[in-house]
Amino acid sequence: MTSRSLLRLAVAGAVATTTALLAVAPADAQQAPRTVPVRLLALNDFHGNLEPPTGSSGRMVDENGATVEAGGAAYIATHMKAHTDANTIAVAQGDLIGATPLISAAYHDEPSVEFLGKLGLKVAAVGNHEFDEGYAELRRIMKGGCHPVDGCSPAGEWKGASYDYVGANVLFKNPSEKSDALAALGSRPAVKKLLSDWGVPALPPVSVKWMNGVPVGFIGLVTQTTPGIVTAEGIKDLKFVDEVKAANVASKVLKLLGVKAQVVLVHEGDQVTPGQSPDACSAVPGAGNRIATQVDPEIDVVLSGHSHQAYLCKVKDPAGQDRLYSQGGSFGRVITQVDLQVDVRTRDVVRSSVVADNHVVTRTVKPDQDISDFVTFWKEKVASVANRPVGRITADISNTARPSGETPLGDLIADAQLAATKTGGNAQIALMNPGGVRAPLTYAGSPAGEGDGVVTYGEAFTVQPFNNLMQVVTLTGAQLKTVLEQQFTGGPNNQAFTKILQPSANLTYTYSTSAAWGSKVSDIRIDGAPATDTQQIRVAANNFLVGGGDAFLAFKDGTDVWSGPLDIDAFVDHLGRNSPIAPPATNRITVTS
């Protein structure tokens, strides 16, 4: 078990008010409990890691500064049971599915959603990865039914999620679109008017759960950058609006419903100072902090996700009160526990009572047997595919960025994509988005017994889990330079942070860390020859990038689009044809001051 390190949010005004109310309360009222306890247990960014994640994805710094093995569904279940009491509501902050290992992805993440139901999850915000297969597929996951192409899984017809998905800032673009997302909110005219003035919700904006006789309202939010980080076609009918504005509307809805205890579950967060305790307030203020400090003072707690970090912070709300702002890492390695008291008369959270702790999901406890059996069932169903050897490597191939931003594995994937698109697409170079490289390749053999250096299909799929389509477009040399400039912050596309595309071996260039945006990239060469502004260049990339994903909007100016194999197929084929593969040198990008 983790040691308990507490974050207390002390608010002197709340304590003073409590004292005053008790002083004037009649004797019989003094005998009744004035507050009732509520406990929240939260997960974020699980990404379908039913099996214990490997490599750096399966390690976590604990409260003592030690790096420990963490995560895995059976261990999550054990830790959840240890911290669950009669006052507990389990919640989540998005990206529970999407970008998942093969054990979950092979069945469109139904196994992961079923596991989370078994865990007792009650409410989850949508994350951007919940939209990886589009809005229609998310609706199927929520409501039930077999997949329209692949049919039913080995478990039979899908019954739908047993928990509520919420997303207050996900609206239909068409104001005449019909929505069933309001049904749970009843027929109060004031609520209907407020929401009709706001827009047509594509998802329920809030969920209300009762605990110990008081209602607790949960507001779901997803990063408003979602359209830039998922495939455009699947969300073409949706818009993702400002998180703060949506939260404030949802807060007013809850207030109209008589719900004063309010919690935001937001799939947006901040980066941290590395190596800190998960209980430290190590978050560097950014997009998550903006939301946590600006949403309505009625909101008592902000639980975040998306950035895959662990922190416990107190921030000031717009009324100057302290408010909890936290996140619990990723891949099921941390459970965030929040204990609070709700005043039974005001039905509001007593802010001074809020106590939080990030528990690392260690693997030193006994795994839950029922969940172990559940994971084994799905592992066996996918084993024949997952354990098939597809290639060999001579050493670990990392997805950790070098100073230039290149990663050995990212470069290898770009090489694979170029090889797969030369014939048919006439590709000359390839570029890979770094966020699509989801895990390292490790040399050591797995428990499946394939042996050291052997790469299985399941391991390759964990690296490339999106099933993106490989495409080739024609860009001019000037347009290619714009694409490369769009890697850096400061441009017109409002890049949130620098994202270095992984280049194929025959593409080299230099960038300056100090030059102004638009002048950072120079000396672009293809097969050693300088690229000219008017040169026509066939560029391979996945359909996410070609559609302008990750703010690389210049890709959308490409012409003569050709579509080829899936990215995972290109990667697997390259591994098979070139084994054994050594980690490539990360010398394709030169950095100057």
Instruction: Give per-residue pLDDT as tens, 4-41.
Output: 344 444 333 333 333 333 344 444 545 678 999 999 99
Tens of pLDDT, residues 494-538: 887 899 999 999 999 999 999 999 999 999 999 999 999 999 999
Q: Which overall architecture, per CATH, does domain 34-360 show?
A: 4-Layer Sandwich (3.60)
- Helix (H) or strand (E) segment spanning residue 14: helix 12-24
Whether the per-residue pLDDT at 140 is higher than 60: the answer is: yes
Q: How confident is residue 426, by pLDDT bands cut at 50, 70 and 90?
A: very high
What does the domain layout of the chain look like in residue ranges? Answer: 34-360, 387-592
Pair of tokens at residue 231: 């495939």
d(CA 237, CA 254): 27
- Rounded CA separation 144/459 (Å): 29
* pLDDT the model gives residue 188: 79
Asked, as a colleague might, if the bond just before 580 is cis with ω within 30 of 0, I would say yes
Cα–Cα distances (Å) from 503 to 21, 99, 415, 417, 435, in that order, read: 66, 22, 8, 10, 14
Instruction: Give me the pLDDT at residue 11, please.
Output: 33
pLDDT for 113 equals: 98
pLDDT over threshold 60, residue 2: no
- Range with the poorest average pLDDT among 18-22, 91-95, 581-585: 18-22
Residue 14: per-residue pLDDT:
34
Evaluate if residue 59 carries a pLDDT over 70.
yes
Q: What is the CA radius of gyration of the chain?
A: 25
Is the predicted pLDDT of residue 114 greater than 80, yes or no?
yes
Q: Please give the Cα distance from 351 to 405 (Å, whole number).
A: 43
Confidence of residue 186 (pLDDT cuts 50, 70, 90): low
Query: What is 387-592's CATH number, 3.90.780.10, 1.10.10.60, 3.40.50.1110, 3.40.50.2300?
Result: 3.90.780.10
Q: What is the pLDDT of residues 262-304, one digit of tens each?
A: 999 999 999 898 889 999 999 999 999 999 999 999 999 999 9
Among the ranges given (441-445, 519-523, 586-590), the one the predictor scored with the smallest mean pLDDT: 441-445
Task: Give me the pLDDT at residue 184, please.
Answer: 64
* DSSP state letters, 414-479: HHHHHHHHHHHH--SEEEE-GGG--S-B-SSPPTT---TTEEEHHHHHHHS-S-PEEEEEEEEHHH
- Reported as half-sphere exposure (CB side, CA atoms, 13 A), residue 426 has a value of 9
pLDDT of the residue at 192: 80
**Res 448 pLDDT > 90:** no
3-state DSSP call for residue 490?
coil
pLDDT of residue 1: 41
Alpha-carbon span 274 to 263, nearest angstrom = 27
Which residues on neighbouring strands pair with residue 7, listed in sequence order?
356
Q: What pLDDT does 288 receive?
A: 97
Q: Taking residues 460-489, report their average pLDDT.
A: 95
Distance CA 342, CA 211 (A): 10
Across 113-140, average pLDDT: 97
pLDDT at residue 400 is higher than 90? yes
The per-residue pLDDT for 547 is 86
pLDDT digits (tens, 9 = 90+) for 307-333: 999 999 999 999 999 999 999 999 999
Give me the mean pLDDT over the 54-59 stretch.
Answer: 83
- Which residue type does 516 have? A
Quote the mean pLDDT of the chain. Answer: 92
pLDDT at 8: 41
